Amino acid sequence: MRTALYCNHFAAFHLLGHLVQAGQLSLVCLPGKDCPMYVEAELLCRMRQIPLVCYEDGEEQLSNALREHGIDLAIVFTFPHRLSESLCQTPAHGTWNLHGSPLPAYRGPDPLFWQIRKGESKAGLTLHRASARIDAGEIFACTTTDISPVEIKGSLFDKIAQLAPDLVSRLIQQLDNGEDLKLTAQNDKLASEQKRPTLEDLIIRWNSMDASEVARLIHASNPDYGGALSWIRGTEVRMLEAESFHCRTPLNAKPGCIIHAPDDPNLYVVCAKDSYIRVNVLSSANAIASGARLKVMFGLRSGELFADSPQASLPAQAGC
């Protein structure tokens, strides 16, 4: 089965390497020479004598490459461009997309962010036929993996990517055997569509979000968005890793307030609903450090306030 792979992210190397080892990869398409994995992919393709093309050179050139190299099947994984219907139909067995959710849930460009953000216990990877409607094609197969309470998007992406070779191998085997594919139409009534997160989606809303919600936002934003956003003393900080705690008794402190634990150097911040987080890693314009280290570096004191805007975090406005 002569297979083409459209990809863009380092996570796709799990599938790319599998197809190379199986002798099934006959063409690689990247968005352009500035894509994150270009250098490594170009080197691998050159060593293995696998043709590599760039989407930025135009669909006509890509279509010609698919025909020239006799591509039977195309797989899309981590590719940012929408392919035309005619291009999808060029390979004899069509074009198939790997989407990081249990479709039809979490259609859209960043499903892993939203699955972590919304507190799902499992994330999915769905192999479906590429269609005119994004993420809406018939489903060949879907598999899932657990989302741990401390899962960041980067680690979840790698776990999901490791599931891709098995799904694609099953599709190729059935096509090679001439089997009729058992496809499932997506139920649009069960579908949910999520946009790409905006800056507003990354801001920690201390007054309304409890510790579990704050921690999930922090982890969903790491690493692609540089962490969840907050301000202290008018300065922007990004929180990258945290752990949540819930109290049985009232904390008697405002959400966003730094609290002190005796003989404990860590950075603790109050959240809504009598809960708090321990900030394990965060960054500012000047440093990436542990919460305990940044607390010392900036001289952060108990009673100072993290806020959801620069103005609200100024010392004259802030206070617990």
Question: In this predicted model, what pLDDT tens digit does every residue of 103-149 receive, in sequence order?
Answer: 999 999 999 999 999 999 999 999 999 998 999 999 999 999 999 99
Residues, the chain, total? Answer: 320
Residue 38: pLDDT over 60: yes
| Residue 14 forms part of a structural domain | yes
Q: What is the pLDDT of residue 93?
A: 98
**How many distinct structural domains can be found in the chain?**
2
**Both 180 and 265 in a single domain?**
no
**Both 100 and 31 in a single domain?**
yes
Nearest-CA neighbor of 224 among 92, 36, 63? 36
Q: What is the pLDDT of residue 316?
A: 62
**Both 139 and 49 in a single domain?**
yes
Residue 319: pLDDT over 80: no
Q: What is the pLDDT of residue 315?
A: 81
| Residue 320 forms part of a structural domain | no
Does the predicted model carry a pTM greater than 0.85?
yes
| Residue 249 forms part of a structural domain | yes
Residues 43-88 have pLDDT tens digits of 999 999 999 999 999 999 999 999 999 999 999 999 999 999 999 9
Q: What is the pLDDT of residue 261?
A: 86
Distance of alpha carbon 128 from alpha carbon 136, whole angstroms: 8
- Determine which helix (DSSP H) or strand (DSSP E) holds 43, and give its type and residue range: helix 38-48
Tell the residue number behind the tokens 């617990």, with chain if given: 320
Q: What is the pLDDT of residue 144?
A: 98
CB 107 within 8 A of CB 136: yes
- Other CB atoms within a 10 A radius of the CB of residue 66 amount to 22
pLDDT band at 320 (very low <50, low <70, confident <90, very high): low
Residues 151-177 have pLDDT tens digits of 999 999 999 999 999 999 999 999 999
Which of 190, 209, 238 finishes a domain?
A: 190
Average pLDDT over residues 208-226: 98
Which of 171, 190, 209 finishes a domain?
A: 190
For residue 175, count CB atoms less than 10 angstroms from its CB and return exposed for 0-12, middle for 13-18, buried for 19 or more.
middle
Distance of alpha carbon 239 from alpha carbon 288, whole angstroms: 10
Nearest-CA neighbor of 232 among 320, 316, 299, 315? 315
Q: DSSP 3-state assignment of 268? A: strand
pLDDT band at 250 (very low <50, low <70, confident <90, very high): confident
Tell the residue number behind the tokens 């990258």, with chain if given: 240
Distance of alpha carbon 117 from alpha carbon 24, whole angstroms: 37
Side-chain-facing half-sphere of 171: CA atoms under 13 Å: 28
Nearest-CA neighbor of 211 among 163, 259, 165? 259
Nearest-CA neighbor of 120 among 153, 80, 142, 97? 153
The CATH number of whichever domain residue 285 belongs to comes to 3.10.25.10
**Both 212 and 175 in a single domain?**
no
Residues 259-318 have pLDDT tens digits of 988 899 999 999 999 999 999 999 999 899 999 999 999 999 999 999 999 999 988 655
The CATH number of whichever domain residue 98 belongs to comes to 3.40.50.170
Q: Give the range among 9-23, 191-205, 243-257, 269-283 with minimum mean pLDDT.
A: 243-257
Give me the domain span that covers residue 52.
Answer: 3-190
Q: What is the pLDDT of residue 304?
A: 96
Which of 190, 217, 248 finishes a domain?
A: 190
Q: Which two tokens stand for residue 190?
A: 């069960």
